[in-house]
Amino acid sequence: MTATIFQILGGLALFLLAMEMMTDGLKNAAGRHLRHLLGSWTRTPLRGLAAGFLITGVVQSSGAVTVATIGFVNAGLLGLSQSLGVIFGSNIGTTMTAWLVSLVGFGFNIEAFALPLLALGMGLKLATNNTRSEALGQALAGFALFFLGLSILKTSLESLTAGIDSQTLVEMGYGLPMFILIGFLATVLTQSSSAALAIVLTAAAGGLIPLNSAAAAVIGANLGSTSTAALSALKATANARRLAIGHILFNAATGAIALLILPVMLWVVALMARWLELDANVAVSLALFHTLFNVLGALVMLPFTPHFARFLGRLFRSKEEDNAEPRHLDNTLVATPELAVAAVDEEMKRLIGLIRGLLRVCLDREDLKPAQIQPKADACRSLNSAIVDYVSRVRAEKMHPSTVDALTLSIRTCRYLMEATDLAAELLKLKVAKDQPRMARLSESLERYTDTLRALVAADEPLPATVDEAEKIYHQLKSELLAMIVRRDIATTDGEQTLDTLSSVRRLVDQWHKALAWQPVSRLLNGDQEAALSNPQ
């Protein structure tokens, strides 16, 4: 008995190692093509579903695809609706493992093709210096070990179940809820639904558990696969956490539907198995069941993806996301310009205040990384875009020409503010450069430059004298840096990077200074319009 248990654990370990090798090898072999497919071919939930299915089918890991999708959402490259489609598709794609196990693992002499395949894979990995070929060799070796691990599992479980009737566990009180829990825990502990499915399929094929109990364990394994998403989203952005919750809710809903209609689904599976002449293989019936309930879940949920995304969007609201939402831009006012301009005034004040806060954080907070300011910057961009869109929808035919000119100034200011937002990260690079030992001789000038920037950011109106001071210090720093490059006191690459940073900060100063010339529309209409509109283009 002890030897058999160690055989089962060894087979499982080999299986998990094979899955990791296969997944890593295929991901590295496919390279940027998979990333491109996931990042760009997901414009709609339906296309996201197709991309999720295809990529998971290729890399044989729904967990890897889920983590990658969360990463894209974290970076703002995928929206919630798109990423939900990818998750639905990856659930269908992961059923490929069950088909591999059931059709190949129980229908062929595994060692007859696995060992030559292992030799071919390792030979390809060792005999070439090409990165893609090495990755392909690793994937082939992993594919071979996948089936060798399965063979060990199959043999050891058959040995363990010899003389045990399939009804024994049921008679001991192991009902469907217990098998769901077993499938769930097996996936959570191994962090691989494929490994859990292999155990369930092998146990069912060996007669240890009846078909309906094995189907319940498959449902549990499917639900357990969400643990990977939950763990990867613990410290992620709010959107990534929403996606993880969406994954859990989708799998829970899919599992609940499958459990409620389990007798009907098993009857349909039996009909399809007989029609395909596969009814003699219990593992195939389970693979068919796994595919059927995942496809059914995707078909049920896909039409409701936009509504589901809106529901999830109300969860984990961050301060930045609340700031990004307009508070005064009422759509009912667009037909009444006199009222709409007052709303624009209030929102512009908020936008300038948000961007001032962003710039202050970049100047004053130590050890701040670009990723840490990303949510604040995104909130500023979102509110900026909302103001521009709102102004473009105000009924122009009912506006007085002076109101048109004043709102034009607001849109122009939004452009200045958008560029200032995009350049905010350059302030972090400037602080990094200032703290470098090689820049010690410029530390005093850099400190004066930083203090001048703080004064400009804190100002509520244009300060030409301060801008002139900043310009003077910029040219001084530029001259000294060029001299250091010529004297080789600093590497050319490092010096050019610092010059680029200084140039970007100079551009930020210019855009922020222009933005400070903005005046509320109501004040412009009271007589200050001409002066404000004379602001440089």
200 Cβ partners below 8 Å, 6+ apart? Answer: 183, 186, 209, 214, 217, 218, 221, 286
* pLDDT attached to residue 22: 67
Angle between helices 176-190 and 193-205 (to 10 degrees): 130
Average of per-residue pLDDT across 325-338? 76
Q: Which residues of 137-153 are buried (b: 16+ CB within 10 A; e: fewer)?
A: bbbbbbbbbbbbbbbbb
Tokens of 450: 């930083």
* pLDDT attached to residue 182: 84
Tokens of 472: 């003077």
Tokens of 94: 């992961």
Q: How far apart are CA 134 and CA 124, in angstroms?
A: 6
C-alpha closest to that of 95 among 61, 143, 45: 61
Q: How far apart are CA 232 and CA 17, in angstroms?
A: 21
Q: Distances from the Cα of 464 to the Cαs of 414, 447, 468, 474, in angstroms?
A: 20, 20, 6, 15
Q: Do the beta carbons of residue 201 and residue 286 sit within 8 Å?
A: yes
Q: Distances from the Cα of 79 to the Cαs of 39, 40, 241, 315, 377, in angstroms?
A: 10, 11, 13, 15, 17
> Please, what is the average pLDDT of the chain?
78
Residue scoring higher pLDDT (147 or 444): 444
- Across 100-109, 173-182, 522-531, least confident range: 522-531
Instruction: Say how many Å lie between the first and final Cα of the chain, rounded.
Output: 84
Residue scoring higher pLDDT (287 or 57): 287
* pLDDT attached to residue 468: 93
* pLDDT attached to residue 476: 92
* pLDDT attached to residue 416: 94
Look at residue 18 and give its three-state secondary structure.
Answer: helix
Average of per-residue pLDDT across 426-446? 85
* pLDDT attached to residue 128: 77
* pLDDT attached to residue 36: 60
Look at residue 264 and give its three-state secondary structure.
Answer: helix
74 Cβ partners below 8 Å, 6+ apart? Answer: 236, 237, 239, 240
Q: What is the pLDDT of residues 341-395, one digit of tens each?
A: 888 888 889 899 999 999 999 988 877 788 788 888 888 998 899 899 888 888 7
Residue 455 pLDDT grade (very low, low, confident, very high; cuts 50, 70, 90) = very high
* pLDDT attached to residue 537: 41
DSSP, residue by residue, 158-183: HHHHTT--TTHHHHTT--HHHHHHHH
Residue 506 pLDDT grade (very low, low, confident, very high; cuts 50, 70, 90) = very high
pLDDT at 533 over 50: no
pLDDT at 266 over 90: no
Residue scoring higher pLDDT (402 or 285): 285
Q: What is the pLDDT of residues 19-58, one digit of tens each?
A: 677 666 656 655 555 556 665 666 677 777 887 787 777 6
14 Cβ partners below 8 Å, 6+ apart? Answer: 145, 148, 149, 152
Tokens of 249: 């809710």
DSSP 278: -
Q: Do the beta carbons of residue 339 and residue 518 sit within 8 Å?
A: no
C-alpha closest to that of 50 among 240, 309, 58: 58
Residue scoring higher pLDDT (249 or 11): 249
439 Cβ partners below 8 Å, 6+ apart? Answer: 433, 446, 490, 498
* pLDDT attached to residue 191: 67
CB atoms closer than 10 angstroms to residue 483: 12
Query: Mean pLDDT: which of 10-14, 52-56, 267-271 is highest?
Result: 267-271
Average of per-residue pLDDT across 263-282? 79
Q: Do the beta carbons of residue 211 and residue 285 sit within 8 Å?
A: yes
Question: pLDDT above 70 covers what percent of the chain?
Answer: 74
* pLDDT attached to residue 105: 57
Average of per-residue pLDDT across 164-175? 52
Average of per-residue pLDDT across 454-469? 90
pLDDT at 492 over 80: yes
Query: Mean pLDDT: which of 147-161, 184-198, 207-221, 236-250 is highest?
Result: 207-221
* pLDDT attached to residue 148: 74
Look at residue 12 and give its three-state secondary structure.
Answer: helix
Tokens of 108: 């062929």
Query: Mean pLDDT: which of 26-40, 116-130, 485-499 is highest?
Result: 485-499
Residue 206, φ and ψ in degrees, nearest 5: -85, 0
* pLDDT attached to residue 150: 66
- Amino acid letter, 336: T
Q: Distances from the Cα of 244 to the Cαs of 9, 196, 461, in angstroms?
A: 30, 21, 45
C-alpha closest to that of 505 among 362, 372, 350, 379: 362
Rounded to two decimals, the pTM is: 0.56
Question: How many helical (H) and strand (E) elements, i.e. helices and strands, does the chain have?
Answer: 27, 0
pLDDT at 418 over 90: yes
- Amino acid letter, 178: M
pLDDT at 234 over 70: no
C-alpha closest to that of 520 among 276, 288, 373, 328: 328
